[in-house]
Amino acid sequence: MDAILRRHGLVSPRTRTHKSPAPRSALINPVERNNSIMWIYLNDTFVPQAEAVVSVFDHGFLYGDGVFETLRAYRGRVFLLADHLARLERSAARIQLYLPVGIERLADLLRESLIRNQLQDAYLRITVSRGTGDIGLDPALCTTPTLVIIAKPFQPYPESFYANGVAVMIAKTRRNLPEALPPQVKSLNFLNNILAKMEATAAGAHEALMLNHRGDVAEGTTTNVFTVHDGRLRTPSADCGILEGVTRGFVLQLASELGIPADGTRLSVEDLLRAEECFLTNTTQEVLPVTQVDGHMIGDGRPGRITRRLHASFRAYLAGV
């Protein structure tokens, strides 16, 4: 543990470090749709994937100026649809970007994307960029936002990830200062997260956890993080500089219904390493156990009781939807 804390410029009392090799996470390959056309919604119509192109002058391409939302469909129904669309609307409002269609229309387009692509279990993504305009940072150069909706088959993560847990690492790349880029905006400008993900890939880890400017745990590159201490859930609070995940919120709701106490709080690296359990949440991974951090074993090195209980409750809810 001391070596991990020193590596990230942190200090802690002298403790024993559990050493065990970090398993290399399996790569999730994109699903290829053989002999079929993927239909993409682009601005005002559905087009085949090969025709779904945007201008090189689109400010999403030039500057990462825009917002997006990732969603998941189970058995043809989009999970937590209202929450995702509300967050998209908030993200757009924070950067003064108007959505080219209303929320109800977006919901209809997501459902139509599933139908056109004959999908039941699917990954969906809504992207809204500032639109096409002359080169320059002024948003006024763009008059009409670009809207793209992608729906493709969802390829589940291996069940071994949930049975055995995954290994993560703590990135040297720090999370953006909230004063520099509001974390509540799910922005197309994802370079901060990409740099941390590159560190995880180089280390053979499933995910990289990012620290904030104070040196506290903030979030993963695409995930929120939870720990368990004395039977109580802890997760970094909004003021730690995180994007409050939709799945994070749903898991907190499940915990409340199950009578599991939970706190949004500051979480130090030492707190993380001393946790009895740890797990990640996001739209595609649901509730994913973490059993190693920088080679340090979490708990007894197996998915914990509360983690397993929450994921079982998560899937039981899905089965009843």
Residue 271 CA to its chain's centroid (Å): 22
CB 88 within 8 A of CB 283: no
Q: What SS3 class is residue 239?
A: helix
Q: Active-site residue among 19, 152, 186, 197?
A: 186
Q: Which residues lie below 8 Å from residue 318, measured CB to CB, with a gap of 6+?
A: 74, 79
Give phi and psi for 292, each to the nearest 5: -145, 140
Alpha helices in the chain (DSSP H): 2-7, 59-63, 81-94, 103-116, 159-164, 191-203, 246-257, 269-273, 305-320
CA dihedral (132, 134, 137, 140) in degrees, to 10, reads: -70
Taking alpha carbons only, the member of 30, 28, 54 closest to residue 40 is 54
Q: Which residues lie below 8 Å from residue 290, measured CB to CB, with a gap of 6+?
A: 165, 166, 167, 168, 207, 225, 278, 279, 280, 298
DSSP secondary structure string for all residues of 177-218: PTTTS-TTS-BS--HHHHHHHHHHHHHT-SEEEEE-TTS-EE
- Give yes or no: 186 in active site: yes
Amino acid sitting at position 157: Y
Q: What DSSP designation does 305 have?
A: H
Taking alpha carbons only, the member of 274, 308, 273, 275 closest to residue 289 is 308
Q: Please identify every residue annotated as catalytic.
A: 186
